Amino acid sequence: MEIGGVKISGKAALAPMASVADRAYRLICKEQGAGYLVSEMISAKGLCYGDRKTEELCTVDDRERPYALQIFGEESAYCGRAAGLLMKYKPDILDINMGCPVPKIAGNGAGSALMKDIDRAYSIVKAAVENSDVPVTIKIRAGWDEEHINAPEFAAAMESAGAAAVAVHGRTKTQMYRGKADWEIIKQVREKVKIPVIGNGDITTPEEAVLMYRQTNCDLVMIGRGSYGNPWIFRDVESFIANGANGNVPAPPSLEERLSVMLKQAEYAVSFKGERIAMKEARRTCAFYLRGIKNAAAYRSRCGTLQSLSDLEKLAEEILHNEN
């Protein structure tokens, strides 16, 4: 598929996830076959005011391409200006988050709150398009709540404002991450607009990815929580589709491979953020890699005490020695 002339060769994208899909994790997923990556959310207002922490999120690593920088905001003036400022980082695509349900984003009028105000959302997309040198896309939800499901109409309005693609998470804002994603709404968006549609929600296996393609006719699937501790899902989706979805999926990673990739992600994180911050975050991310192995609970508990990369290396060696 293509987004405004930007070619996306893979069959599955990594969903943007604040505090999870950082550069280290994105690179790991890319190495395992993710075809498209999106940054963590960047505050349009923070960028305009020169916030240093905000600017750190804007780094574009050539190894991640095709790659989008994602902004959020509730005012068109700031979003337009932020779009222009982001061009110096040379992203392939600029994405606008209109689906985040967390209170600190939606409660301030950004994220999924914009789905209640099509006119405001339209002005934001239009301002971003006017100030961007690259395609502008949006990420939305099914709607605000069960009584206000408006994704098809909303997506059509954003297309008319200049959006080059739309990613749709099949849950409402009030659902947060509970319940089941409604893939039918993704299908309805696909039928309503001419721009590419990316389907998101409840994909944890290659079979589910293929099912989403078939049921919704979407142009690309996007995987979020289903990739936690399992970046191999992107490789598996590629293989499953390449083999005609006939069950030919690579064997699950060995314990040694699982631990090796876990360590590689931590090493990336240390190189980008420094050991103190990276290892504090690794206490959670490394625990995901250990789910399902023997004595997982005890090892995951140990992750909570990680202080250094050498601590993690010792834990990995111990796991290999005890469980192989």
Residues annotated as catalytic (active site), given as ranges? 100
Q: Where are the beta strands (DSSP E) in the chain?
A: 2-3, 6-7, 12-14, 37-43, 67-72, 93-98, 136-143, 165-172, 197-200, 220-223
Which residues does 22 contact at the CB level (< 8 Å), separation at least 6? 40, 269, 272, 281
For residues 105 and 145, the answer to whether their CB atoms sit within 8 Å is: no
DSSP state of 179: S
Helix (H, G, I), strand (E, B) or coil at 189: helix
Over its C-alpha atoms, the chain yields an Rg (Å, rounded) of 20
Burial 152-170 (b: 16+ CB within 10 A, else e): bebbbbbbebbbbbbbbbb
Q: What is the CA angle 4-221-22, rounded to 5?
A: 85
**How many angstroms separate the most distant Cα atoms in the chain?**
60
For residues 164 and 125, the answer to whether their CB atoms sit within 8 Å is: no
Interaxial angle between packed helices 23-31 and 255-273, expressed in degrees from 0 to 180 and rounded to the nearest 10:
140
